[in-house]
């Protein structure tokens, strides 16, 4: 049997899970149900399903989030492909297929979105084995989830015959998200499955079908891989070529047109965790049907989800609502209107507010910073630097900075002067002077940064040297 390579698609914004999910920290990187993020749960599931070192396809802005979460699992970093622009799933999978062929000309791909929840990894692994056997015979296999209710939020797959758990059945057709009446008809017929968005096929088979059915996409993606370049732990697709690729899903570009489509049924718990009502569905509940995460006091509260990240939240006399607290935003919504949270995100974007884009605490490859205070001509940040990590050598045109070490040890350079600082020591960096900050120790470095000046935006950074390739 050929090598099975997991391909994990890390795109998506998860706007319905705002305010926890943000554009720069979307839902696949969140810990929603247990101690693992959805991405980490996907990696662990792939390991059970006999997968080799994975291939990740990610947005350039999320590259360090992907790498850090893989490292937290002490898992092989594999191959992280960076998309310069979003072009939907068909080109992303094609890029992974070309890279997989460089490893093994006979490789088989197990394609999975990074934002789904499947608690029973063993049952999933058995279904993957069935799909791999069919893929070895030339099929392009998708997984169809046995529906548990007439969902209008999922696409459907109709098999050509009654699907059996131990075999792959040819696909008769794919159906777009239906209205409530049609969804109920699908459930009643017993012939339809939810479209899971997961696939198994030989890399060469997929590319051959793509070349036949979408030749422009095939040629532009191939050129973007051929002209791509390694960058630290990542592989950057060529932007000029990839931008020219048509933007299409694998369903539209290949699966709905190919004669090789087959489906393996999944009769197990599955969720794409698309909104807060789905998080409530899949989470453990108390005797009143509540999901309470964080510092929560609930009185006369029923069938409600409350999630806090810091402040205490109390509820009294409410039913069927969602409350999500973060450092800079609070969401209160009716649970049955959870799908409409994306409208809030759209409004934030139209108002050019930063709350759709990132959290108050922002992840960086060297650690993170938390903007704890801001006013006219000043800003205060709490900065955490990981052991051994180093910020870029940089300067600012419009702001000066004052650093005070709270814990740990800092190595600091200001122009040509380099020195160490420890707890309760401080330094001043005038406007225009080159400087860097490094944690040479074995524990996290925490410090307070006070910025002052006429402009305090993050784009007032001129980098001269950077170990993370951001110069």
CATH number for the domain harbouring residue 244: 3.90.550.10
What does the DSSP assignment read for 56-119? Answer: EEEEGGGHHHHHHHHHHTT----EEEEESS---HHHHHHHHHHHHHHH-TT-EEEEEETT-B-S
My answer on whether 400 and 456 are in the same domain is yes
My answer on whether 384 and 442 are in the same domain is yes
Q: Which of 345, 377, 399 is the last residue of a domain?
A: 345
pLDDT digits (tens, 9 = 90+) for 256-306: 999 999 999 999 999 999 999 999 999 999 999 999 999 999 999 999 999
The answer to whether position 189 is within a domain reads: yes
The answer to whether position 386 is within a domain reads: yes
Residue ranges in the chain whose pLDDT is less than 70: 1, 51
My answer on whether 222 and 283 are in the same domain is no
My answer on whether 253 and 141 are in the same domain is yes
**Residue 188 burial (CB count, 10 A):** 10
SS3 content of the chain, % helix, strand, coil (to 5): 30, 35, 40
The answer to whether position 353 is within a domain reads: no
In the chain, the number of structural domains is 3
pLDDT number for residue 411 = 98
Q: How many whole angstroms separate alpha carbon 235 and alpha carbon 57? A: 10
The answer to whether position 352 is within a domain reads: no
pLDDT digits (tens, 9 = 90+) for 330-366: 999 999 999 999 999 999 999 999 999 999 998 899 9
My answer on whether 50 and 181 are in the same domain is yes
Give the residue from 62, 58, 107 showing the smallest Cα distance to 79: 58
Give me 98's structure tokens: 């070309």
My answer on whether 285 and 383 are in the same domain is no
The answer to whether position 355 is within a domain reads: no
The answer to whether position 470 is within a domain reads: no
The answer to whether position 413 is within a domain reads: yes
CA 48 vs. chain centroid, Å, equals 20
My answer on whether 291 and 388 are in the same domain is no
My answer on whether 219 and 289 are in the same domain is no
My answer on whether 25 and 131 are in the same domain is yes
Range of the domain at 42: 4-266
Q: How many whole angstroms separate alpha carbon 436 and alpha carbon 176? A: 53
Give me 126's structure tokens: 């058995």
Q: Which of 319, 345, 371 is the last residue of a domain?
A: 345
Give the residue from 458, 7, 417 showing the smallest Cα distance to 207: 7
The answer to whether position 350 is within a domain reads: no
Give CA torsion, residues 254, 255, 257, 258, to 10 deg. Answer: 90
Q: Which of 234, 266, 298 is the last residue of a domain?
A: 266
My answer on whether 217 and 283 are in the same domain is no
My answer on whether 44 and 101 are in the same domain is yes
My answer on whether 373 and 435 are in the same domain is yes
pTM: 0.89
CATH number at residue 458: 2.60.120.10
pLDDT number for residue 51 = 66
């Amino acid at each position: 049997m050929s090598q099975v390579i997991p391909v994990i698609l890390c795109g998506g914004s998860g706007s319905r899970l705002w305010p926890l999910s943000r554009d720069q920290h979307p839902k696949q990187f969140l810990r929603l149900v247990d101690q693992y993020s959805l991405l980490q749960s996907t990696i662990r599931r792939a390991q059970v399903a006999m997968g080799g070192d994975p291939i990740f396809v990610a947005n350039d802005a999320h590259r360090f989030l992907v790498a850090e979460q893989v490292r937290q699992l002490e898992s092989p970093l594999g191959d992280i492909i960076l998309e310069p622009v979003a072009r939907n799933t068909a080109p992303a999978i094609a890029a992974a297929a070309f890279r997989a062929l460089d490893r093994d000309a006979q490789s088989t791909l197990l394609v999975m979105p990074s934002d789904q929840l499947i608690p029973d990894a063993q049952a999933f692994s058995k279904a993957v084995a069935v799909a791999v056997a069919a893929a070895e015979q030339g099929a392009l296999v998708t997984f169809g989830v046995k529906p548990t209710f007439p969902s209008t939020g999922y696409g459907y797959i109709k098999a050509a015959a009654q699907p059996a758990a131990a075999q792959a059945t040819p696909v008769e057709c794919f159906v777009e998200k239906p209205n409530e009446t049609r969804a109920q008809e699908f459930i009643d017929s017993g012939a339809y499955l939810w479209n899971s968005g997961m696939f198994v096929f030989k890399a060469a088979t997929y590319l051959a079908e793509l070349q036949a059915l979408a030749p422009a996409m095939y040629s532009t993606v191939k050129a973007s891989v051929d002209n791509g370049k390694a960058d630290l732990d990542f592989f950057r697709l060529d932007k000029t070529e990839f931008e020219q690729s048509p933007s299409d899903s694998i369903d539209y570009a290949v699966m709905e047109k190919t004669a090789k489509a087959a489906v393996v049924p999944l009769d197990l718990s599955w969720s794409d965790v698309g909104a807060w009502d789905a998080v409530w569905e899949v989470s453990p509940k108390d005797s009143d049907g509540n999901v309470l995460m964080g510092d929560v006091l609930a009185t006369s509260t029923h069938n409600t989800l409350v999630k806090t990240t810091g402040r205490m939240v109390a509820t009294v006399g409410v039913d069927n609502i969602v409350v999500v607290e973060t450092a800079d935003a609070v969401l209160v919504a009716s649970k049955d209107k959870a799908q409409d949270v994306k409208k809030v995100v759209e409004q934030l974007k139209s108002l050019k507010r930063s709350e759709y884009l990132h959290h108050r605490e922002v992840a960086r490859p060297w650690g993170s910073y938390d903007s704890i205070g801001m006013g006219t001509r000043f800003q205060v940040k709490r900065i955490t630097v990981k052991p051994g990590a180093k910020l870029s050598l940089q300067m600012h045109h419009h702001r000066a900075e004052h650093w005070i070490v709270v814990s740990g040890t800092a190595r600091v350079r200001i122009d040509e002067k380099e020195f160490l600082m420890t707890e309760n020591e401080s330094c001043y960096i005038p406007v225009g002077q080159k400087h860097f900050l490094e944690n040479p120790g074995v524990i996290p470095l925490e410090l307070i940064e006070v910025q002052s000046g006429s402009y305090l935006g993050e784009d007032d950074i001129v980098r001269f040297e950077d170990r993370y390739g951001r110069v």
